[in-house]
C-alpha cells in the first residue's frame, strides 16, 4: 500500500510544504528586515522581501565590531572548553557506573541520579558562586557549574552497557586492566554516543544567556546570546553599541536589531544542521534506560 | 542481575583493586557534583531564615515558615502555580496530539529524501536560543511593524499591542512551544511506528480498512504504550517550567505577568529584587513538589511498564 503513487502523497507533500512555510517564514522575515532601509521598514513594517534594499544596518553593526567579536570570542571559548571538559569528566564517571564489578556502583549511581531529582534551587548556587567560590564575573562561571549533567552521564552509561560483556571478559583474560579496558575498548567503541552527548551539551552552552545575566557585570565578558538579549530589549543598549559619535536619529535602530540577530545566530543555523545526525541520535538515546 | 553475583560474597582483593582504579576515574565527576549540586542543597536552610546578606547564612535569624507563608498567602502563589500547571498540562495535551500527528505524517511519506529535508527543518528550532525565539515571535507581534497587525490592518481592523494583552499569551506561548518542540518529540513516535509490522497494515487494507480506519485501529493502538509512557513522564515534570520560553518570549513585560508568570520566573525576579530568602523558599517548594511528582509517576510506570522506569 505504500508503493502506489497516489494523490495521497501529493496531499501529504502539500501539508508538509505548508508546515515548512510556518518554520521558514519567520527566518525569511528576519533576514529581509535586516536588509531593509530603515525608513522603509518604519513605514511598511516587517515583510518577506525588503521593500527597499539597504546594507546600512550591517554597516552600522560592523562599524564598531569589537563588541560582537568579543562576545563571539567569549562564547566560543567557554563553549569549547566546557564541552571538552564535560565530555571527558562524564565519560569517565559513566565507566564505573557501567561495570558490574564496581563494588560501590549502587551508591555512586544514587549519588549521580539524586542530582536529577532534587536541587537546592537558584539562590544557593548563586550564593556559592558569588560569595564562596568567587568565580562570578570571570569566564570560569560559564565553564564549571553544570559541567556534569546526570542525564547525560546516564545516556553515556547506557551506551557503555550496550557493548557485549564477552569483549571485556576476553580482554581481561588477556590480562587487561580496568583502565586499559576503559580507555582502549569501551570509550573508543562508544565514540558515536559520546559525540551525540557532546553535541547536545555544546548547543546548550552556545545558547546560554542566563549565566551572563546572573553573574557577569563586565560587558567584555558577555555571552553572545546575552548581548543579543540586551539589544532586543533595551533601546539604550543599542544606542551605546556604536559608542559615541553617532546620534540616535541617524541610527537604523530597528533594522540594526535584526542585523545583529543574523550576525549572532546565522553561522550556527548554517552549521548545526550538518550535525543533526548526532542531535537526533542523542535525543532518542535519552529515551533508553540503563 | 550481574551485580548480585558479586554483591553477596566478600570482595576479593582483586575486585577491590579494580574498584579502586575505576573509582579513581569517577573522582573529578564526584567532586564537581559535590561542589555544584550537593553543597547548594544545604543552602535550602535560607528558606527558613530571615536572610540578611551582611549577617550571612548562619548569622541570619531563623524565621520558621514565614517565607512560605508570605508566598502562599499572596496573589503570586495562585498565579504562578496555576500558570505553571496549566501551561504544562496544555503542552502535554497539544504536544502529544501534534507530535503523534506529525509522526503519522512522516510515516506515510514515501520519499526518504523529502522526509530528511522536512525533518531537518522541523527540528531546527531546537538549535535556537530562547533569545532568538523571542526575536522571531516579535516579528509577528510587534505593535507597529509586526506581521500579524499588518494582516489585521489589511483586513480593515486595528491590531492591539500584543505585549500588553495578557489574554492572548496562553495561545502565543503554546503555539511557540509547539513550534519549537514537536519536531523532536515526534521522533519518538516515528521511531515506534517504524517497528510496526507492515503485514498487519496490509491485512487491514485487504479487509477493506481505509486510511482513517488503519490509523485508528492499527497505528494508534500500536503507539498507545509509548504515548502513555511519554505522558506520564511529562506529568512528572508538571512543576518544572521552561524558564527561557517564559522569560524571553514575553520579554519580561510586567503587564503580561497574569498569564506569563510561572514559578521559575517568579523565583528569578525575587532573586534579582534581593528577596533571596523568599526566592529560596519558592524554589524549595518547586523542588519538593517536583520530587514528589517524579517519584509518584515513576511508581506508576513501574506498574504499567517496568522497562520504562527512570530508576
Q: Could you tell me if B120 lies within 8 Å of chain A, comparing CB atoms? A: yes
pLDDT confidence of residue A247: 56
pLDDT in tens, B163-196: 999 999 999 999 999 999 999 889 889 988 988 8
The pLDDT confidence band at residue A1, using thresholds 50, 70 and 90, is very low
pTM of the model: 0.88
Give A64-290's CATH code, choosing from 2.60.120.200, 1.10.3720.10, 3.90.1010.10, 2.40.50.140.
Answer: 1.10.3720.10
Residues 6+ away with beta carbon under 8 Å from B310: A289, B233, B294, B298, B301
Cβ contact A98:A153 at 8 Å: no
B257, pLDDT greater than 70: yes
Half-sphere exposure of A52 (CA within 13 A, CB side): 12
Strand partners, B62: B49
Neighbours of A151 (CB within 10 A): 13
pLDDT confidence of residue A289: 40
Report if residue B281 sits inside a domain: yes
The pLDDT confidence band at residue A242, using thresholds 50, 70 and 90, is low
* Residues of chain B found within 8 Å of residue A124, distances taken between Cβ atoms: 39-44, 46, 280
Neighbours of B284 (CB within 10 A): 25
Nearest residue, CB atoms, B40 vs list A128, A225, A254:
A128
Q: Could you tell me if B40 lies within 8 Å of chain A, comparing CB atoms? A: yes
Nearest-by-CA chain A residue for B206: A1
Report if residue B178 sits inside a domain: yes
Domain count, chain B: 1
User: Taking CB atoms and an 8 Å limit, are B22 and A96 in contact across chains?
Assistant: yes
Residues B18, B12: Cα–Cα separation, whole Å: 10
Q: Could you tell me if A20 lies within 8 Å of chain B, comparing CB atoms? A: yes
Cβ contact B132:A261 at 8 Å: yes
* Residues of chain B found within 8 Å of residue A153, distances taken between Cβ atoms: 29
> What are the extents of the domains in chain A?
1-54, 64-290
pLDDT in tens, A135-187: 999 999 999 999 999 989 998 998 898 898 889 989 989 988 888 999 999 99
The sign of the torsion formed by the CA atoms of B254, B258, B260, B266 equals positive
Would you give the end-to-end CA distance of chain A in angstroms? Answer: 37
The pLDDT confidence band at residue A288, using thresholds 50, 70 and 90, is very low
Burial label, B195 (beta-carbon count in 10 A; 0-12, 13-18, 19+): exposed
Q: Could you tell me if B211 lies within 8 Å of chain A, comparing CB atoms? A: yes
User: Taking CB atoms and an 8 Å limit, are A46 and B15 in contact across chains?
Assistant: no
Nearest-by-CA chain A residue for B279: A123
The CATH number linked to B229 is 1.10.3720.10
| Residues 236 through 255 of chain A touching chain B, CB cutoff 8 Å | 254
pLDDT confidence of residue B270: 93
* Residues of chain A found within 8 Å of residue B311, distances taken between Cβ atoms: 113
Cβ contact B111:B260 at 8 Å: no
Q: Could you tell me if B6 lies within 8 Å of chain A, comparing CB atoms? A: yes
Report if residue B214 sits inside a domain: yes
pLDDT in tens, B85-99: 999 999 999 999 999
Can you give the residue range of the structural domain that contains B209? 82-308
User: Taking CB atoms and an 8 Å limit, are A29 and B147 in contact across chains?
Assistant: yes
State the DSSP string of B197-216. -HHHHHHHHHTT--HHHHII
Report if residue B8 sits inside a domain: no
Report if residue B126 sits inside a domain: yes
Contacts by A96-101 with C-beta closer than 8 Å and gap 24+?
Answer: A96/B19, A96/B22, A96/B23, A96/B25, A96/B26, A97/A153, A97/A157, A97/B26, A98/A157, A98/A160, A98/A161, A98/A186, A98/A290, A99/A178, A99/B22, A100/B2, A100/B3, A100/B5, A100/B6, A101/B6, A101/B15, A101/B18, A101/B19
Nearest residue, CB atoms, B33 vs list A148, A182, A258:
A148
Amino acid at each position: 500500500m505504500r508503493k502506489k503513487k497516489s494523490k495521497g502523497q501529493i496531499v501529504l507533500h502539500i501539508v508538509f510544504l505548508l508546515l515548512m512555510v510556518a518554520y521558514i517564514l519567520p527566518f525569511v522575515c528576519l533576514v529581509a528586515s535586516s536588509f531593509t532601509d530603515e525608513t522603509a521598514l518604519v513605514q511598511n513594517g516587517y515583510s518577506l522581501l525588503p521593500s527597499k534594499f539597504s546594507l546600512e544596518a550591517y554597516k552600522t553593526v560592523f562599524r564598531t565590531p569589537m563588541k560582537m567579536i568579543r562576545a563571539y570570542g567569549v562564547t566560543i571559548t567557554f563553549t569549547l572548553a566546557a564541552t571538552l571538559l564535560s565530555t571527558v569528566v562524564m565519560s569517565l564517571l559513566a565507566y564505573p557506573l557501567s561495570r558490574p564489578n564496581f563494588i560501590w556502583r549502587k551508591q555512586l549511581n544514587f549519588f549521580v541520579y539524586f542530582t536529577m531529582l532534587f536541587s537546592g534551587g537558584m539562590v544557593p548556587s548563586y550564593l556559592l558562586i558569588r560569595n564562596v567560590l568567587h568565580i562570578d564575573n570571570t569566564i570560569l562561571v560559564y565553564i564549571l557549574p553544570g559541567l556534569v549533567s546526570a542525564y547525560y552521564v546516564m545516556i553515556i552509561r547506557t551506551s557503555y552497557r550496550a557493548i557485549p560483556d564477552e569483549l571485556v571478559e576476553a580482554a581481561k583474560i588477556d590480562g587487561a586492566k580496568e583502565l586499559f579496558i576503559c580507555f582502549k575498548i569501551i570509550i573508543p567503541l562508544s565514540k558515536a554516543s559520546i559525540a551525540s552527548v557532546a553535541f547536545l551539551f555544546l548547543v546548550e552552552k552556545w545558547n546560554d544567556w542566563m549565566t551572563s545575566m546572573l553573574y557577569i557585570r563586565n560587558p567584555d565578558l558577555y555571552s553572545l546570546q546575552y548581548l543579543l538579549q540586551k539589544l532586543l530589549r533595551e533601546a539604550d543598549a543599542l544606542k551605546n553599541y556604536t559608542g559615541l559619535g553617532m546620534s540616535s536619529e541617524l541610527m537604523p535602530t530597528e533594522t540594526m536589531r535584526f542585523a545583529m540577530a543574523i550576525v549572532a545566530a546565522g553561522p550556527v543555523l548554517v552549521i548545526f544542521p550538518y550535525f543533526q545526525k548526532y542531535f537526533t541520535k542523542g535525543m532518542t538515546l535519552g529515551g533508553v534506560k540503563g | 542481575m550481574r551485580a548480585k553475583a558479586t554483591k553477596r560474597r566478600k570482595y576479593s582483593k582483586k575486585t577491590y583493586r579494580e574498584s579502586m582504579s575505576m573509582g579513581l576515574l569517577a573522582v573529578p565527576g564526584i567532586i564537581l557534583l559535590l561542589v555544584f549540586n550537593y553543597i547548594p542543597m544545604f543552602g535550602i536552610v535560607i528558606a527558613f531564615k530571615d536572610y540578611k546578606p551582611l549577617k550571612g547564612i548562619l548569622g541570619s535569624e531563623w524565621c520558621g515558615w514565614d517565607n512560605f507563608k508570605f508566598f502562599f498567602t499572596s496573589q503570586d502563589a495562585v498565579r504562578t502555580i496555576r500558570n505553571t500547571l496549566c501551561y504544562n498540562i496544555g503542552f502535554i495535551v497539544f504536544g502529544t496530539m501534534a507530535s503523534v500527528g506529525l509522526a503519522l505524517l512522516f510515516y506515510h511519506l514515501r520519499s526518504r529524501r523529502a522526509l530528511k529535508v522536512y525533518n531537518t527543518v522541523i527540528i531546527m528550532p531546537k538549535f535556537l536560543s530562547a533569545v532568538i525565539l523571542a526575536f522571531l515571535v516579535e516579528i509577528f507581534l510587534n505593535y507597529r511593524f509586526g506581521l500579524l497587525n499588518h494582516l489585521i490592518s489589511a483586513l480593515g481592523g486595528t491590531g492591539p499591542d500584543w505585549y500588553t494583552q495578557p489574554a492572548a499569551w496562553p495561545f502565543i506561548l503554546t503555539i511557540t512551544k509547539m513550534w519549537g518542540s514537536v519536531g523532536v518529540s515526534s521522533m519518538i513516535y516515528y521511531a515506534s511506528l517504524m517497528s510496526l509490522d507492515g503485514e498487519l497494515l496490509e491485512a487491514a487494507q485487504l479487509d477493506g480498512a481505509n486510511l482513517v480506519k488503519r490509523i485508528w485501529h492499527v497505528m494508534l493502538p500500536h503507539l498507545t504504550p509509548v504515548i502513555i509512557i511519554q505522558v506520564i513522564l511529562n506529568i512528572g515534570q508538571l512543576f518544572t517550567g521552561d524558564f527561557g520560553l517564559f522569560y524571553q518570549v514575553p520579554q519580561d513585560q510586567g503587564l503580561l505577568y497574569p498569564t506569563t508568570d510561572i514559578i521559575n520566573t517568579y523565583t528569578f525576579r525575587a532573586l534579582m529584587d534581593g528577596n533571596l530568602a523568599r526566592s529560596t523558599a519558592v524554589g524549595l517548594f518547586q523542588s519538593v513538589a517536583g520530587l514528589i511528582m517524579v517519584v509518584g509517576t515513576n511508581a506508576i510506570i513501574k506498574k504499567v511498564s517496568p522497562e520504562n522506569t527512570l530508576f
